[in-house]
């Protein structure tokens, strides 16, 4: 056994929204005696259950799930925060003799954790930061994101325009250091990871199949009470910080009697499809991901068999 295989084994299941990650993570946990660690930037917040597609107790099937429902919605949460908490959970799970399984679609969190990114503050400029927030308030999040794209297109590609905290931080780091945020991020990956990790990615050979799954999920969310959940968040916080997420913000025009509900739901579906494309763009840059196309299998058991063979190639669990 080489030195790499002496490291603790960590499994990850990644992919775009609605690709089946929750199901696969639970099934693999059942097979290998694992526990799930969420890698979703919205599931970590309390009260954002439907739009973030938090798994129900029935979907969890008794498998412990971690890093969900931890924070109040007005608390900012960074990739550095995620890496710290996820590392702690991995050690806890390993101490119980269980397999840590990272499941989610927030690529920055997963890459930062498994590539052992060492975060540096990179300096700060509070006045410049406030200027950026003021610009976004006046001109919109998309306009501020466009400024980042001009300075550091690679960083902009990996950050959603509505993730204002991260957009502002990337611009601030560029401003303070005179260097690209993406370059500093790459340099932070120089220390070897403490884990022997395998990443299984879910995608669909027929993109339309994924889009149909997304549309169906949005319809199911609406039936489950998405509109009521979003209205409550809007009344409580005006959609600040974490509530500025897909599935919530698109409904604000309906709450203001500016658009019909059906039109807003159509916007949620469209924006979710766009988000899935951005997720896939991010994950495709990682050559380590072992891709599985669920729509090329006839039965779910065949997907699991493929996963088991893939895992067996990399590590004896």
pLDDT tens-digit series, residues 84-100: 999 999 999 999 999 99
- Which residues contribute to the annotated binding site? 15-22
Instruction: Indicate whether 286 and 243 sit together in one domain.
Output: yes
Instruction: Indicate whether 231 and 303 sit together in one domain.
Output: yes
The proportion of the chain whose per-residue pLDDT surpasses 70, expressed as a percent, equals 92
Instruction: Indicate whether 267 and 136 sit together in one domain.
Output: no
Q: Please state the domain count of the chain.
A: 2
Identify the CATH number of the domain in which residue 146 sits: 1.10.20.140
Instruction: Indicate whether 152 and 109 sit together in one domain.
Output: no
First to last CA, the chain: 13
Instruction: Indicate whether 180 and 207 sit together in one domain.
Output: no
Q: Is 47 part of a structural domain of the chain?
A: yes
Instruction: Indicate whether 183 and 282 sit together in one domain.
Output: no
Instruction: Indicate whether 103 and 170 sit together in one domain.
Output: no
Domain boundary pick from 187, 208, 239: 187
- Residue 117: which of 7, 198, 196, 193 has the closest Cα? 193
| pLDDT at position 1 | 31
Instruction: Indicate whether 146 and 281 sit together in one domain.
Output: no
pTM reported for the whole predicted model: 0.81
- Which residues contribute to the annotated binding site for ATP? 15-22
Summarize pLDDT for 234-265 with one digit per residue, the tens.
Answer: 888 766 555 568 999 899 999 999 999 999 99
| pLDDT at position 238 | 61
Instruction: Indicate whether 97 and 211 sit together in one domain.
Output: yes
Q: Is 251 part of a structural domain of the chain?
A: yes
Instruction: Indicate whether 149 and 238 sit together in one domain.
Output: no
Domain boundary pick from 187, 210, 234: 187
Q: Is 2 part of a structural domain of the chain?
A: no
Q: Which residues in 248-269 are b (16+ Cβ under 10 Å) and which e?
A: bbbbbebbeeebeeeebbebbb
Instruction: Indicate whether 177 and 196 sit together in one domain.
Output: no
Instruction: Indicate whether 164 and 268 sit together in one domain.
Output: no
- Which residues contribute to the annotated binding site for substrate? 17-22
Mark the ranges of the chain whose per-residue pLDDT is less than 70.
1-5, 119-124, 188-190, 238-244, 316-317
| pLDDT at position 297 | 97
* Residues spanned by the domain of 31: 8-118+192-314
| pLDDT at position 163 | 84
Torsion angle defined by CA atoms of residues 47, 45, 257 and 276, in that order, rounded to the nearest 10 degrees? -120
Tell me the pairing of strands 9-14 and 99-103. parallel
Q: Is 23 part of a structural domain of the chain?
A: yes
Q: Is 267 part of a structural domain of the chain?
A: yes
Q: Is 3 part of a structural domain of the chain?
A: no
Distance CA 314, CA 197 (A): 9
Q: Is 211 part of a structural domain of the chain?
A: yes
Domain boundary pick from 141, 166, 187: 187
Distance CA 230, CA 246 (A): 10
**Other CB atoms within 10 Å distance of the CB of residue 14:** 27
Burial class (CB in 10 A: 0-12, 13-18, 19+), 165: middle
């Amino acid at each position: 056994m080489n030195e790499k295989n002496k490291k603790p084994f960590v499994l990850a299941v990644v992919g775009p929204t609605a690709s089946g990650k929750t199901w696969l993570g639970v099934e693999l946990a059942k097979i290998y005696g694992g526990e799930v660690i969420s890698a979703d930037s919205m599931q970590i917040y309390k009260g954002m259950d439907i739009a973030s597609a938090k798994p129900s107790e029935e979907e969890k099937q008794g498998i412990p799930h971690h890093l969900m429902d931890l924070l109040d919605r007005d608390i900012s949460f960074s990739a550095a925060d995620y890496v710290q908490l996820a590392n702690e959970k991995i050690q806890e799970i390993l101490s119980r003799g269980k397999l840590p399984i990272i499941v989610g679609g927030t690529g920055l969190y997963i890459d930062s954790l498994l590539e052992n990114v060492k975060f540096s503050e990179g300096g700060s400029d509070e006045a410049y930061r406030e200027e950026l927030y003021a610009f976004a308030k006046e001109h919109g999040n998309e306009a501020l994101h466009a400024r980042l794209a001009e300075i550091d297109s690679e960083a902009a590609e990996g950050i959603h325009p509505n993730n204002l905290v991260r957009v502002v931080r990337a611009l601030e780091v560029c401003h303070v250091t005179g260097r690209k945020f993406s370059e500093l991020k790459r340099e932070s990956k120089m220390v070897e990871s403490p884990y022997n990790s395998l990443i299984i990615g879910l995608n669909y050979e027929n993109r339309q199949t994924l889009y149909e799954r997304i549309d169906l999920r949005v319809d199911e969310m609406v039936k489950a009470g998405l509109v009521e959940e979003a209205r409550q968040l809007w009344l409580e916080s005006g959609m600040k910080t974490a509530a500025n997420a897909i599935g919530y913000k698109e409904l604000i025009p309906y709450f203001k009697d500016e658009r019909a509900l059906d039109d807003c739901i159509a916007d949620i579906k469209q924006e979710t499809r766009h988000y899935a494309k951005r997720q896939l763009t991010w994950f495709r840059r990682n050559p380590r991901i072992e891709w599985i196309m669920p729509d090329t299998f006839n039965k779910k058991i065949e997907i699991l068999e493929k996963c088991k063979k893939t895992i067996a190639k990399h590590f004896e669990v």
